[in-house]
Structure 1
Amino acid sequence: MNNSQNQSLDQQNLSDESQQVMILNDIMEKKVGFGWFQKRSLLILSCIDLNDGCEYIIISIVLPLIREEWNNKSLEQNPNQHSDFINQGTFKWLTTIVFIGMFFGSIFTGYFSDKYGRKKVIMICSLLYCIACLYSLLITEIYEIFIQRFLQGLIFAVTIPLSTTMFTEISPVKYRALGVMFINTGITVGLLFGILLSWIILDDINHGNWRLLTAAQFIQGLVVFVGAYLYLLESPRYLMLSNQIQEGINVLNQMICVNKQIVQGVNTLQLSDKSLSQALIIQNENLISDQQQIKLINLAQNINHDAGENLNISGFLKKIQSLFNQNNMQLTIFLALLYFFTGFIAFGQIITLPMIYQEQSKKNFLSIFVSFLGEIPSYLIFYFVFNREGATRKKSMIISCLTSGTFNILFYFRIYMSFTLFISRMAQRCYYILNYLYCNEAYSTHLRTSGLGLMNMTQRIGLIIMPFIILEIAAYSPITNFLLFGLIGYLIAFFSYMLPFDTTKMRLDEQNLLVQQNKKENNI
C-alpha cells in the first residue's frame, strides 16, 4: 500500500468524505510540505514526551525517599505505633497510584481532544500539570501524596497521546516517521533531564528534598504551555472533522506561509506595483486555490461530522464501539496487547535498575545516567535501518522486539551486563517509536485520538499491575525481572506479527479506501 496505490484511487467513485480526505492529503503533500512550521511544532510536542520520561525516572528515585522520610518520622513520633508507617504493601500502592491517575486520564483523551481540539487540550492540561506539581511543596500527610500523585498522572495522561497524534496530522507521509522519532527522543532526554534535576536538588540517590524535586517538574509543563500558546496551530484535520472547514483552510494557508516564507496581508503602501504583483502571484501559486476551497466546503455539507462542541458522551462511546467493529477488531485487540506489555517492560526496567545498582554499591546518579545513554543510538538505528527504503513497520517491530527480548535474557545471565543493557534499551526504544507511529497511521482521524487514548489506557493498566509483580520479584532478586522482560519481548514480537496490515508510506485516512478497493478488485 504505497503512494502509487493511493494516487490510483478514482475520486469519482468515492463518497464525499473520501473525496475530502483525498483533497486534504494532496494539499498536505503538494502545498504544505515540510518546513519551519513542522520543525517548531516538533520542538514543542517533544517536550510532552520529555515530561513523560522525566516523570518515570523521578518516580523511581523519589518513592524510596518518601518511604524513608515517612518511616523515620513515624518511628520518632510513635515508637510503639506505626499508623503512618509505609510498609511494602503501601509502597506498592504509592508506586502505582500515578498510573491509576494516568489510566483515567487516558480514558478522556479522545473525548476532550475531539470535542475541544488538540491545541486547547494540550494548553489547558499543561497549565493544570504545573499546578499539580507545585502542590507537592505543601504535602504534610501521606494521603496528600496519594492525591498529588493521582492528579499529576490524571492530568498529564490526557496529553501524552497528543504529541505524536498532532504531528502525524500536520505532516506529509515522507517525514512522518522521522517526526515521531524526534518526538520520542523527548522521552530519552526526559530521563536524562530527570536524573540531572535529581543530581542538582538531592544530596544523593538516597537523601534529599523530594518535594522540591517533584515540584521542579512544573518547568516542562510551563514550556509546553507557552510554546503551544505562541506557536502551535490547531490540527486542520481536526477542524475539517468538526465541520470548521474555513478555519481548517485558514490553518493550512498559515502552514504554507510559514514553510514557504510567504508574508500574508501584504502592505500595498510599502511595495511598488511590480513588487506587489510578484507578491500576489507567489501567494496565489502556493496557497489553497479558490476551486479547492469551494470543493471542500461543498463536500462538507453532506458529511456526518463527529467532532467539535456538539460531540456528547453518547457519540464518544459510539467511537469506542467502532474500534471493535469488524474492520478494526483485530487491529485494536493486538495493539492493546502490545501497549499493555510494552508499558510493563518500559517502567519495570526503570524501577528495577536503581535496585540493581544499590546491590552493586553504585549509589551515584552517574551509573543511572550512563544506563539510559543506551537509548541515544536507537534513534540512529531507527533512521538508518528501520526508516530506509524497503523497511516495513511490522517487520521492524518484530526485529526490535526479538532483539530486546534476547538481550534482556542475556543481562539476566550477567553476560557483559553493560553491553547487553545498552542493546536492550536501544532495541526497546526503537520498538516504542514504531509502536506509536503504527497506531497513529492505522486509525483514521475520527478514531485516532480515541484509539490512541484506549491504547494508552491499556498501557497504564500494565503499569498499574507492574509494581505488584516487579517489586515482589525484586524482594528476592531484582535481576530476575530481566528474565521476565525477555520472555515478554518474545510475546510482543508475536503480537506484532498478528497486526492485520502494514502502514508504511500510507497516507492518512486512506486505509479504508484501499481496503474497499482491494475487495472490489478481488470480487471482479
Structure 2
Amino acid sequence: MSSPNKSNSRGSKSTQKLEVIDNIIERKIGFGLYQKRALGYLCLIDFNDGLELILMSLTLPIIKNQWNIEHASEVGDGEQYIDSSRYKWLGSIFFLGNLLGALLTGPLSDKFGRRKVVLINSISYGVVAFLFLFVQSLGELYFLRFIYGFVYGITLPISTTFYSEITPQKMRGKGVVTINSAIPVGLATGVIMAAIVLNDTSSGNWRLLISLSCIPAFILFYGAYKHLLESPRFLVVDKRIQEAADIMNQMITINKGDGGEVVTDDEMEQLEKWRARKYDHFQGMTQIEQVKNQISLIYLKIFQLFKDKYTWISISLCVQWFGIHFMSIGQTFILPFVQAQQKKGFGDMLLVFFGEIPGVIMTFLIIDRQYFGRKNSLILFFGGCFVLNLLAYYQVSFSFVLSLSRFCYRQCHAVLYVITNEIYETPLRTTGIGVNSAFARFSTVIMPFVLVAIFDASTYGPFLCLAIIGAVCSLMAYKLPFDTTNIKLDHVDEELEQRTHPLDVVKEENMSSSQKSNNSHQPNKQKDIEIPLIQQK
C-alpha cells in the first residue's frame, strides 16, 4: 500500500469533475466488501422498525383483553384496568416516543457521530425489548412502550443517512431502497412470530412475543461494533480531516487490499478547502451561538431547514412524510380491528403485507431512471394510495386492494428516504431526516385517536381518510422544485441555479457535436463562467 503522505497528481486531476470527497468515494473507495457489510447491518435497523411496528399493533388488542381479565376485580375504576381512554393512550404513547426520539436524531448524530448513536441505541433497544418479559403494572407497560418507541425513533433515520454518506452515487439509490425494504420483511417476520407464539389474534403470550425483538437488536450492536466505521463526510464537516482520511484508507484496504490507492496529503488539503467553502457559513452560526447551550443549536439547524432555498423543499417533504406514515402505519394499526370483525386470522394479514415485496422490486427498476426518477415516482404512487384506499372504503376486492396499497406505500417510503437524504447538504442531512421523521412520527401520535374515532362511527371510514391524505401528498410531490436522480450530494445550489435558467440548460444539452468541439478549444472562457459563480456563493 502506498504511503498516504505522497501526493498524487492523478487524484487532483480527477477532482475537476467531482468534489474531492466524492472523487475519493467514487474512484478510490468504490463499492466493495465494506459497503456490502455495512448495508447488511444497517438493514437490521429498518428490519427492527417493521418488527416493532407490527408487534405493537398486534399485541395491543391482546394486552387489553388479557390485562383486564387479570385485573377483573378492578373493572370500572381500578388503576390497572384498561378502559377506552387508556387503550388509546397505550397505542399513542409508543408513537409519541418515536416522535421525541426522531427530534434528537440530527443533534445527537451531528454531535457524537453516526456510529456511536447506532451502537448506544441498538443495545438500549435490545435491553428494553427484553424487559417486556417482566411487566406487571400498567405504569411499567406505559413506560416501556414509550422508551421502546423513543430509542428507535432516534436510530431509524440514521440508517439511510449513514449509507448515503459512504457509498458511490451509482449505488446510493438502490442501496437506500434495500435498507428500506427491510421494513416489510420485519412486518412479515412479526406476523409469522405472532402465529407461532400467540394462540390467536385475541390471546397468547404477548410478553414473550415483544421480548423476542431483542435478538436482531443485539446482532446489530455486535455488527456495528465490529465492522462499522464512522462516516468520513461527518468527520470532514466536523474538522477531523486526518481521522476522516484514516477511515477512508481503511475502507480502501477492506475493498481493494493493500494495493489500493490511498488518500494523499494533497487530497487532505482539498478536503479542508472543500469543507471551508461549503460549510463555513454553518460553522459560523455555531460560533455566534457558542455562548448558548446545545438546545440553541438544535433550533438553529431546524430554522435553517425552513429558510431561503430549503423553505418549500422542507414544507413539501414534511407533508409527504406526515402523510405516508399516517397512511401506512394507520392501516397497519386499524387492520387488526377490521379483520377481527371479518373473523380473519394471521394468514390473511400476512398476505396483505406481502404486497410490499413487489414494491421493492419495482423501486429497484425505476429509482435511478432519469426520465422517471424520484419525483415522478412520488406523484404516481401517492396517487395510487388515493385510488386504492378509496376502493377499500367501498369494499371493492378488499384484501387484494389492501395488498396493492402496501405496494404503493412501500414505493413512497423508499423514494422519500432517498430524495430526503440527497436533497439536504451534509451539515443539515441528519437534522433534515430527523425533522421530517418527527413530522412522520407526529402523524402516528394523533393517528390512533383519529382512526379509532372514525372506526367507531364507520368500519371502513378510516380508508376514506387515508385516501384524502394520499391525494394531498401527490400534489405536494408535484410541487417539489426539482428531482434528485443522479445528482451528487451537496449540490442543491447547482440544481436550483439550473432551474432558475432552464433555457440555458436546454441549449447546452442540445449542442451539436461540432459546437462542443469548438467550445473545447476555449477552456479559459468556460472557467470565466464557473469561477464567478463560486465566488458569488
Give the TM-score, by structure 2 length: 0.85
SS of 2:199's equivalent? strand
Corresponding residue number in structure 2 for 1:287: 262
How far apart are 1:293 and its partner, in Å?
2.6
Residue identity matched to 2:433: L
- Aligned residue runs from structure 1 range 266-281, under 5 A: none
Matches within 5 A, 1:50-89: 50-75=47-72, 77-78=73-74, 81-89=77-85
1:153 aligns with 149
Q: 1:459 maps to what in 2? A: 440
**How far, CA to CA, are the matches of 1:359 and 1:518 in structure 2?**
52
Q: Structure 1 residues 518, 204: CA separation in 2 closer, same or farther (over 3 Å shift)?
A: closer
2:338 to 338, 346, 356: 356
Residue 200 (str. 1) matches residue 196 (str. 2): yes
C-alpha displacement of 1:147: 0.6
Give, in whole Å, the separation in 2 of the partners of 1:389 and 1:415. Answer: 35
Contact 2:302 / 2:431 at 8 angstroms: preserved in 1? yes
1:290-305 equivalent positions in 2, closer than 5 A: 290-297=265-272, 304=280
Indicate conservation of the 8 Å contact 1:100/1:150, yes or no. Answer: yes
Q: What SS does the corresponding residue of 2:80 show, helix, strand or coil?
A: coil
**Could you say which structure has the greater relative contact order, defined with CA pairs below 8 angstroms and 6 or more residues apart?**
1
**Counterpart code for 2:56:** I
CA displacement, residues 225-255 of structure 1 (integer Å, 9 cap, x when unaligned): 1111111111110010111101111111222
- Asked if residue 366 in structure 1 is aligned to residue 347 in structure 2, the reply is yes
Listed as ranges, the gaps of 5+ residues in structure 1 are: 1-11, 13-17, 264-281
Q: Give, in whole Å, the separation in 1 of the partners of 2:76 and 2:265.
A: 81
Judged with a 3 Å threshold, the aligned counterparts in structure 2 of structure 1 residues 300 and 422 are, in CA distance, closer, same or farther, namely closer
1:484 corresponding residue in structure 2: 465
- Residue 475 of structure 1 aligns to a residue whose secondary structure is helix
Q: Does 1:228 align with 2:187?
A: no
SS at structure 2 position matched to 1:203: strand
Q: Work out the percentage of aligned pairs sharing the same amino acid.
A: 35
Per the alignment, in what secondary structure is the counterpart of residue 71 of structure 2?
Answer: helix
Q: Is the 8 A contact 2:355 2:404 kept in 1?
A: yes
Q: In 1, distance between residues paired with 2:16 and 2:106?
A: 25
Matched, 1:314 2:310: no
User: Which residues in structure 2 correspond to 1:5-16 (within 5 Å)?
Assistant: none
The alpha-carbon distance between structure 1 residues 176 and 300, as it changes in their structure 2 partners (threshold 3 A), is: closer
User: Partners in 2 of 1:371 and 1:514 — Cα distance?
Assistant: 39
Q: Which residues of 2 match residues 4-43 of structure 1 at below 5 A?
A: 22-43=19-40
Specify whether residues 257 and 487 from structure 1 end up closer, same or farther in structure 2 by C-alpha distance, changes over 3 A only.
Answer: same
Q: Distance in 1 between matches of 2:335 and 2:502?
A: 53
Q: Which amino acid in 1 is paired with 2:192?
A: L
**CA positional deviation for 1:518:** 6.8
Give the 3-state SS of the residue equivalent to 2:136 in structure 1.
coil
Q: Does 1:408 find its partner at 2:389?
A: yes
Q: 1:324 aligns with which of 299, 302, 306?
A: 306
Deviations 1:128-163 (A, max 9, x none): 111111221221111111111111111111111000
Q: 2:424 aligns with which of 443, 454, 459?
A: 443
AA at the equivalent of 1:332: S
What code does the residue aligned with 2:166 have? I
* Paired residues, number: 484
CA shift, 1:360, in A, is: 1.5
Change (3 A) 1:517 1:227: same
1:513 Cα deviation from its structure 2 partner: 4.0
Q: Work out whether residues 137 and 215 of structure 1, in 8 Å CA contact, stay in contact via their aligned partners in 2.
A: yes
Query: 1:245·1:300 contact (CA, 8 Å) conserved in 2?
Result: no
Post-superposition offset of 1:493: 0.1
Aligned to 1:176: 172
Normalising by the residue count of structure 1, what TM-score does the alignment of the two structures yield?
0.87
Q: Which runs of 5+ in 2 are unaligned?
A: 1-11, 505-528, 530-537
Deviation at 1:389, TM superposition (A): 4.3
Cα separation, 2, equivalents of 1:487 and 1:390: 28
Greater mean deviation of Cα atoms: 167-176 or 514-523? 514-523
Q: Distance in 1 between matches of 2:322 and 2:414?
A: 15
